[in-house]
Amino acid sequence: MDLFASLALGFSVALDPWNIFFCFIGVLLGTLVGVLPGIGPTATIAMLLPITFTLSPASALIMLAGIYYGAQYGGSTTAILINLPGESSAAVTAIDGYQMARQGRAGPALATAALGSFFAGSVSTLLLAYFAPPLARAALNFGPAEYFSLIVLGLLVSIALAHGSIIKALGMIVIGLLLGMVGQDIYTGQPRFTFGFRELFGGINFVSVAVGVFGIAEILRNLENEQTREVMVKKVKNLWLTKDDFKRIAAPVLRGTVLGALLGVLPGGGHILSSFASYSAEKRLSKNPQEFGKGAIEGVAGPESANNAAAQTSFIPLMTLGIPAHPVMALMVGAFILQGITPGPNVINDEPELFWGIIASMWVGNVLLVLLNLPLIGLWVKMLSIPYRILFPSIVLFACIGCYSINLNLFDIYAIAVFGLLGYLLIRFGCEPAPLLLGFVLGPLLEEHLRRAMIISRGDPTVFITRPISATLLALALAAVILALLPSIRKKRDEVFVEED
């Protein structure tokens, strides 16, 4: 099946009225959670996972994907209007976007963010459609040793790109791996780490971990730090760009798109890293670098294009290798599994309607976001006036009902409370929970491929370095750790995350 025939199949799925409706719901919710600081797509998708169990696979995954890339759009709105990024990747947009708003140019700043995001999203979706099939075919040649090394590479790169201390990130990975081992042994059926609880024989419920560590913990943190938010821009005018504005943003949008598309496939915070890398590149290439930080439109165009391009290409390792690039993609793995589908190279052959339908829906979603983002700015800003103490009880209730509905088991509700408290404590001690979720999702896969490789090689551990692809992946993993530990790289990495904070 050639690319055009495949895309035609995808659009036949994406343009189904029911799927358009769920795509609309996804991008609308995504924009909303992007606007509201402290909620974010990770917590939202975690709490909506139980609902997707009742939907068709295509509708469920199209909606969840819409929430993710919709949040990248929404995060820029409050970053520009009130200097309060709703999404971490929009933090750099606030630097020049808010200054433009203070100068009465909020309209052009918002239009730049919307148009740059649309272009980057469309181009990177095309790259996803073009590169995903050959990568999936190549992945079919991977054996257990190669998959083990690939997962090790993903985990170690996510540690290098994680927020804060590398040692703490490594600790989170280890805790996630241990939690992923709870349950019956995959070969012998012997219960492990269950402490006599029969409810744990099948492993810890993924939804309970995700909702607790991200949803409930984030709510507790926001209640602790709730602040009064004052909207500085009352009315947004002149939403269209001038000829000079178009000329100034053209090159930054192109560069941001390329940079974001490349960095988006990296495990960890590729979408965050790409926005900061784009801002740094634009400042260095600019003829007037002194304008940056004072309302340079290039400082909005480049980063917004980069983080939206990265949001789309982060689906490539998920849909071709079954390896999540960051926590949101780990939640998407959970959504696939809830639908009885194992993400990986076989999806493109076994579920072509689903695979190409998700890709085509991204174009539909990007069009819907452009139509939604600018006309509803007034509504998004008004949402910020709702006190958080009113929002959080309904969010918690909704999450608990949804989680209970999957297995009809009260134990899952208790698990949400336990992991919510754990997530809150991790945040308080400066530990980022994201690597924990990646370790939890990838832990069982890591163990399975390790044991398969050892069985096939009859216990010979050199199988991981004698097979060329496996050895290359392990070498890359080692190189990522060494680079992250170099003093100059560590200093630059710390500067990026300090700016984000």
Domain boundaries of the chain, sorted by first residue: 3-498
- For residue 88, what pLDDT is reported? 61
Cα 136 from Cα 144, distance rounded (Å): 16
Cα 330 from Cα 343, distance rounded (Å): 11
pTM score: 0.72
- For residue 76, what pLDDT is reported? 79
- For residue 327, what pLDDT is reported? 73
Helices (H), 53-143: 57-82, 93-102, 106-139
| Residues across the chain | 501
- For residue 230, what pLDDT is reported? 47
Residue in the block written with tokens 């990975």: 173
- For residue 110, what pLDDT is reported? 83
Q: Name the nearest CA neighbour of 113 among 65, 74, 141.
A: 74
Residue in the block written with tokens 């012997």: 190
- State the CB neighbour count (10 A cutoff) for residue 114: 22
Cα 289 from Cα 279, distance rounded (Å): 11
Reading the block at residue 491, the tokens are: 């200093």
**Does residue 50 sit in helix, strand or coil?**
helix
- For residue 271, what pLDDT is reported? 64
Residue in the block written with tokens 């006599």: 196
- For residue 233, what pLDDT is reported? 46
Q: Name the nearest CA neighbour of 40 among 448, 433, 492, 480.
A: 433
- For residue 296, what pLDDT is reported? 85
Rounded mean pLDDT for each run of 10 residues along the chain, 501 residues in total:
80 91 89 70 76 84 86 76 65 81 82 86 85 78 84 78 74 89 83 84 80 78 61 58 85 89 70 76 82 84 87 82 76 82 81 89 86 73 68 75 73 88 87 80 85 88 88 86 67 52 48
Biggest distance spanned by C-alpha atoms of the chain: 70
